[in-house]
A and B are shown apart, each in its own frame.
Chain A
Amino acid sequence: MPSNKSVSDAPITQFINCRILRDNELQREDLWVREGRILDPEKLFFDEQGYADKRVDCEGSIIAPGFIDVQINGGYGIDFSQASENVSDGVSFVAKKILEHGVTSFCPTLVTSPPEVYHKVLPQVKVHDGGPHGAGVLGFHLEGPFISAEKKGAHPEKYLRTFKSGGLEDLMEVYGSLDDVAIVTLAPELPGSQSVVRELSRRGITVSLGHSAADLSQAEEAVQHGATFITHLFNAMLPFHHRDPGIVGLLTSDRIPAGRTVYYGMIADGIHTNPAALRIAHRAHPSGLVLVTDAITAMGLPPGRHTLGQQVIEIQGLHAYVAGTKTLSGSIATMDMCVRHFKQASGCSVQEALEAASLHPAQLLGISHKKGKLDYGSDAGQSRLHLYFCIPAVRAAVVPPLCPQRFLGCKYGLFSWGGGCITVDQSLQFL
């Protein structure tokens, strides 16, 4: 029967009739999974003389590695930066909900906060694997407080900090512990940042440049000390200038250490970044693009007014405004929306769009041997996606596309020739 049990007793599932994202292309191959790991069927055949216990017909859908969101501040009314007694419940709730968007691993993000908040929140959530109960936590993303006052964006000014004592002591004083931290965003122009960048990199924590007024040479120096990420490119940094490109210039810098890649987060919701800017960044450095949602508490809530903490937010479509104004209060895009929009705006292939949300963040965090891929031995948190094609709109009359969602008029507004709509089928996510 299925396996001669020489390696394992666990049941083997074979996904047939699907296309899988592997080796940078969509291949017509079956996917074999056992005990949460992707299996090599050839080894199974010859070594264990085994075959599948269970076959799942995917009806032609795509199986992609689960998406990894490295910047998400909360959602569904939960704010990760709020120091409550049961932070882990809030994180678990969001973790379960984002499975619907295809996200199987994420980094809960904390914005600039006073030390008390970090000391309370950080110890309550540990790095752990995902499952049908919810996406896995890869570690916190600490966005601030060591950022530039000039580029603070929506972060509260009174909690911003600089490096006083000499790096690591400042970090430990503010954060309390770095045990379950995956990413730290800081501004490299702050004096004393170099040793901090070095120390964090040495500990395996990803250092990201963001909320900064640094020029290109300051940014390059930080990269040489170990920084590998840029937090939401274009936002909260100096704009690109042809004589000093600033942090944006890292995309094409020639002073990046050999063998290293600088990755950059993009909020591809069509609102935070003009599609033309998205295309410029993508064309300049396609392999470094990492899709992030930077979603706020209001993500996932229905349209209308919501009171979140001290703020009243109004949700209209894909926009979240401070109530009564036209000021954007943050992103409420979901990861699948970002993948869709990115594909449509950049004109890239399906596999590139999927890799920007899975492979690239896995490479950024140094976990691509286990996640972000459907290679043999990888963790099997995967998403099954249906790829449908909308009928393009005719100029004069809007022809409702035939979308399986049965909406009259595509709800994502994708009226492009040969555009694709990606929806997530949760039934296969963790098997």
Chain B
Amino acid sequence: MRLVILDDYDLASEWAAKYIRNRIVQFKPSADRFFTLGLPTGSTPYGCYQKLIEYYRHGDISFKYVKTFNMDEYVGLPRAHPESYHSYMWNNFFKHIDIDPANAHILDGNAQNLEEECQAYEQKIAEAGGIELFVGGIGPDGHIAFNEPGSSLVSRTRVKTLAKDTIVANARFFGNDLSKVPTMALTVGVGTVMDAKEVMILITGAHKAFALYKAIEEGVNHMWTVSAFQQHPRTIFVCDEDATLELRVKTVKYFKVMTINKTPKFVWWLK
């Protein structure tokens, strides 16, 4: 894996956004060859989305030939609800860029048959040729998407019941009223994300430090599902200083040297 450590949240967001931008630009997507991107939601990737919008507005990147697949969505929450992941993606990303609506895929938590919805989603990913780059976050309990502790590390897209930790963490978006937080969600499986050609996990903040430690310095364990990516050939963990607080100094020192040597520069030969 690569562990990229930046000084703070803003720099980490910028690094991640630049990486995504460069990958898309170097891929040279076209009408016959779309770039498939897996996307997360939540407070962690917000800064990254802001930066991507900035690059789009500046003309450095276009999402015309990009297909996106979001990781998850609540079950039973109306799509127009301000906390639904559809609303999040529309307000924080889609409405500011030039992506074709037909290429923006998000699981439908209000589908008649949730099982079929999950299987259809897997099908869509397969038809799109698999995911080039899957961007994700990590929960305080070490989960990737809504693959809560105990999820199979080879799982596929399915319905999951949310863990207490997750519900408590999300309560702040529902007026701190635990009863208003949805208890179930549709999520891509650990196996689904593992199938991607490359995985980038964003982790910022001291409250995620312990989960990062468990994910990369301990063994592969279904209680900390992000640890599964130790077995993926191309994983990058992008974090800020605070997120490294529980890591060994040796780990941090080793990867810091690498970061300085490999900060992505802008692909200047464009345009």
Residue B266 lies at the interface, judged by CB distance under 8 Å to chain A: no
List of A residues within 8 angstroms of B94 by Cβ: 45
Pairs A–B under 8 Å by Cβ, sample size 13 = A41-B95, A42-B86, A42-B87, A42-B91, A42-B95, A43-B80, A44-B101, A45-B94, A45-B101, A45-B104, A46-B90, A49-B102, A51-B101
What is the bound-complex CA distance between A43 and B79, given in angstroms? 9
> Which of A4, A41, A44, A45 lies at the interface centre, i.e. has the most chain B CB atoms within 10 A of its CB?
A45
List of B residues within 8 angstroms of A41 by Cβ: 90, 95
A46 near B79 with CB under 8 A, answer: yes
List of B residues within 8 angstroms of A46 by Cβ: 79, 86, 90, 101, 106
What is the bound-complex CA distance between A44 and B94, given in angstroms? 12
Contact of B90 among A30, A42, A48, A50 (CB under 8 A): A42
What is the bound-complex CA distance between A42 and B87, given in angstroms? 8
A:22-50 near B, CB below 8 Å: 30, 40-46, 48-50
How far apart are B81's CB and chain A's nearest CB, in angstroms?
Answer: 11
List of B residues within 8 angstroms of A40 by Cβ: 80
List of B residues within 8 angstroms of A44 by Cβ: 101
List of A residues within 8 angstroms of B86 by Cβ: 42, 46
B:78-117 near A, CB below 8 Å: 79-80, 86-87, 90-91, 94-95, 100-102, 104, 106
A:392-410 near B, CB below 8 Å: none
B80 near A50 with CB under 8 A, answer: no
> Top 6 nearest A-B pairs by Cβ distance?
A49-B101, A42-B90, A49-B102, A45-B101, A46-B86, A45-B90
List of A residues within 8 angstroms of B102 by Cβ: 4, 49
A42 near B101 with CB under 8 A, answer: no
A:280-313 near B, CB below 8 Å: none
How far apart are B31's CB and chain A's nearest CB, in angstroms?
Answer: 14
Q: Which residue of A lies closest to B98 (CB)?
A: A51
List of A residues within 8 angstroms of B101 by Cβ: 44-46, 48-51
Q: Which residue of B lies closest to A1 (CB)?
A: B100
What is the bound-complex CA distance between A51 and B103, given in angstroms? 13
A:57-89 near B, CB below 8 Å: none
| Mask of B241-267 contacts with A, CB within 8 angstroms, 1/0 | 000000000000000000000000000
> Which of A40, A46, A51 lies at the interface centre, i.e. has the most chain B CB atoms within 10 A of its CB?
A46
20 further contact pairs, Cβ within 8 A, besides A42-B86, A45-B90: A4-B102, A30-B95, A40-B80, A41-B90, A41-B95, A42-B87, A42-B90, A42-B91, A42-B95, A43-B80, A44-B101, A45-B95, A45-B101, A46-B86, A46-B90, A46-B101, A46-B106, A49-B102, A50-B101, A51-B101
Q: Which residue of B lies closest to A44 (CB)?
A: B101
What is the bound-complex CA distance between A42 and B106, given in angstroms? 13
What is the bound-complex CA distance between A48 and B101, given in angstroms? 8
How far apart are B96's CB and chain A's nearest CB, in angstroms?
Answer: 10
Q: Which residue of B lies closest to A48 (CB)?
A: B101
What is the bound-complex CA distance between A4 and B102, given in angstroms? 9
Q: Which residue of B lies closest to A30 (CB)?
A: B95
A:218-255 near B, CB below 8 Å: none
B:20-66 near A, CB below 8 Å: none
> Which of A40, A43, A51 lies at the interface centre, i.e. has the most chain B CB atoms within 10 A of its CB?
A51
How far apart are A39's CB and chain B's nearest CB, in angstroms?
Answer: 13
> Which of B90, B95, B101 lies at the interface centre, i.e. has the most chain A CB atoms within 10 A of its CB?
B101
What is the bound-complex CA distance between A4 and B104, given in angstroms? 14
What is the bound-complex CA distance between A346 and B90, given in angstroms? 39
Q: Which residue of A lies closest to B104 (CB)?
A: A45
Q: Which residue of A lies closest to B87 (CB)?
A: A42
List of A residues within 8 angstroms of B91 by Cβ: 42
List of A residues within 8 angstroms of B87 by Cβ: 42
List of A residues within 8 angstroms of B79 by Cβ: 46
Q: Which residue of A lies closest to B90 (CB)?
A: A42
What is the bound-complex CA distance between A293 and B90, given in angstroms? 42
B:97-145 near A, CB below 8 Å: 100-102, 104, 106
List of A residues within 8 angstroms of B106 by Cβ: 46
List of B residues within 8 angstroms of A4 by Cβ: 102
What is the bound-complex CA distance between A43 and B95, given in angstroms? 11
List of B residues within 8 angstroms of A42 by Cβ: 80, 86-87, 90-91, 95
How far apart are A1's CB and chain B's nearest CB, in angstroms?
Answer: 10
How far apart are A284's CB and chain B's nearest CB, in angstroms?
Answer: 33
How far apart are B109's CB and chain A's nearest CB, in angstroms?
Answer: 12
List of A residues within 8 angstroms of B80 by Cβ: 40, 42-43
List of B residues within 8 angstroms of A43 by Cβ: 80
How far apart are A207's CB and chain B's nearest CB, in angstroms?
Answer: 37
What is the bound-complex CA distance between A44 and B95, given in angstroms? 11
What is the bound-complex CA distance between A4 and B100, given in angstroms? 12
Q: Which residue of B lies closest to A3 (CB)?
A: B101
A:138-154 near B, CB below 8 Å: none
List of B residues within 8 angstroms of A48 by Cβ: 101
What is the bound-complex CA distance between A393 and B9, given in angstroms? 47
List of A residues within 8 angstroms of B100 by Cβ: 49
How far apart are B100's CB and chain A's nearest CB, in angstroms?
Answer: 8
What is the bound-complex CA distance between A318 and B9, given in angstroms? 58
What is the bound-complex CA distance between A30 and B106, given in angstroms? 23
What is the bound-complex CA distance between A51 and B86, given in angstroms? 16
What is the bound-complex CA distance between A4 and B101, given in angstroms? 10
List of B residues within 8 angstroms of A51 by Cβ: 101
What is the bound-complex CA distance between A165 and B106, given in angstroms? 68
How far apart are A4's CB and chain B's nearest CB, in angstroms?
Answer: 8
List of B residues within 8 angstroms of A45 by Cβ: 90, 94-95, 101, 104
How far apart are B65's CB and chain A's nearest CB, in angstroms?
Answer: 16
What is the bound-complex CA distance between A30 and B102, given in angstroms? 21
| Mask of B203-238 contacts with A, CB within 8 angstroms, 1/0 | 000000000000000000000000000000000000
Q: Which residue of A lies closest to B86 (CB)?
A: A46
Q: Which residue of B lies closest to A50 (CB)?
A: B101
How far apart are A248's CB and chain B's nearest CB, in angstroms?
Answer: 41
How far apart are A423's CB and chain B's nearest CB, in angstroms?
Answer: 29
What is the bound-complex CA distance between A46 and B104, given in angstroms? 8
What is the bound-complex CA distance between A221 and B101, given in angstroms? 57
What is the bound-complex CA distance between A51 and B100, given in angstroms? 8
What is the bound-complex CA distance between A424 and B128, given in angstroms? 49
What is the bound-complex CA distance between A377 and B228, given in angstroms? 47
How far apart are A13's CB and chain B's nearest CB, in angstroms?
Answer: 16
B:155-185 near A, CB below 8 Å: none
